[in-house]
Amino acid sequence: MRTVRAECTDRMLIYGEHHLRSVLDEYIDRYNGHRPHQARSQRPPDQDEQVVVSMEGRIERHKVLGGAINEYRRAA
């Protein structure tokens, strides 16, 4: 609860229940599927442990929730 407030809802103006549910759905998808987890050596849950990520190439920023959160990934 504290994390979703600090990273998401405290940074946004929520216009109603439908908007809140939409924002929370996107945040939950990112939180559970894409953000790094300490227990997985800073790998996200949706990344295969056997895949080696190249450290070469550009890094791209991907805005989540209209820019409230930024994710960074290697360009393909």
pLDDT at 38: 73
The domain spans of the chain are 2-74
Global pTM value: 0.62
| Angstrom distance (rounded) from CA 7 to CA 49 | 27
- The position carrying tokens 């998401």 is 8
Strand partners for 10:
none
Regions of the chain short of the pLDDT cut 50? none
pLDDT at 65: 84
Strand partners for 63:
70
With beta carbons less than 8 A apart as the criterion, state whether 32 and 45 touch.
yes
